[in-house]
């Protein structure tokens, strides 16, 4: 009987914790997204100091923190982030979803930082959403403009991407479909 009461108590505590975690206000979710983005940028600047100047002189940037799982031939991931227009410092809250097909196994957390050379590229990313498929669109390039984008990958004209892995190990041969879009709940 004591064990049953204990299990019921644990269950109730877990449910209350879940409800509290889900019940974050819009402002709390926005603050959390900005804090995660700042932490991710600090990690990027430590790993690639030249990225700070590249982001500062760009039209804008976007930072996403994501997690993904791959089991045998299928996988997926999701994340959240922000896009910032440097001229006005306007923040747009966004989401990311990803599906994968191909051989592999693993789980990983990762951060993606996009740098937009033009306001048009940034606006297109924010307002139209964006989809791309992994290896087919990325062409590695070691630098641009004296190495200011060293370590970034060109993903389309005027758009560069850095990716940081937080934790985990993944071995994969994959075709990915990734979509970025506005978070309607946080932008109202």
- Tens digit of pLDDT for each residue in 32-43? 999 999 999 999
Average pLDDT, the chain: 76
pLDDT-derived band at 124 (thresholds 50, 70, 90) equals very high
Mean pLDDT within 53-79? 88
Say if residues 79 and 64 touch (Cβ distance below 8 Å): yes
What number is the average pLDDT over the span 86-110?
85
Give mean pLDDT, residues 12-25: 54
Q: Which residue has better confidence, 132 or 136?
A: 132
The string of pLDDT tens digits covering residues 139-170 is 333 334 333 455 667 677 888 888 887 654 34
Does position 171 have pLDDT exceeding 50, yes or no?
no
Q: Is the pLDDT of residue 89 over 90?
A: yes
Report field, pTM of the whole predicted structure over 0.85 = no
Question: Which one is predicted more confidently, 27 or 106?
Answer: 27
What's the CA angle centered on 173, arms 104 and 44, to 5 degrees?
A: 95
Give the pLDDT band (50/70/90) at residue 133.
low
């Amino acid at each position: 009987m004591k064990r049953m009461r204990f299990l019921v108590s644990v269950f109730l505590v877990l449910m209350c914790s879940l409800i509290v975690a889900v019940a974050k206000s819009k402002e709390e979710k926005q603050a959390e997204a900005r804090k995660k983005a700042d932490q991710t940028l600090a990690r990027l600047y430590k790993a690639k100091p030249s990225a700070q100047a590249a982001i500062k002189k760009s039209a804008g940037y976007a930072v996403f923190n994501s997690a993904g799982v791959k089991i045998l031939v299928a996988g997926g991931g999701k994340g959240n982030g922000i896009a910032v227009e440097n001229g006005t410092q306007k923040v747009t809250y966004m989401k990311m979803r990803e599906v994968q097909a191909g051989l592999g196994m693993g789980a990983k957390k990762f951060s993606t930082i996009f740098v937009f050379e033009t306001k048009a590229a940034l606006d297109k990313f924010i307002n139209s959403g964006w989809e791309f498929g992994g290896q087919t669109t990325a062409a590695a390039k070691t630098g641009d403009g004296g190495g200011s984008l060293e370590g970034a990958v060109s993903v389309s004209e005027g758009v560069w991407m850095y990716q940081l892995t937080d934790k985990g190990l993944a071995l994969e041969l994959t075709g990915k479909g990734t979509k970025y879009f506005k978070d309607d709940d946080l932008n109202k």
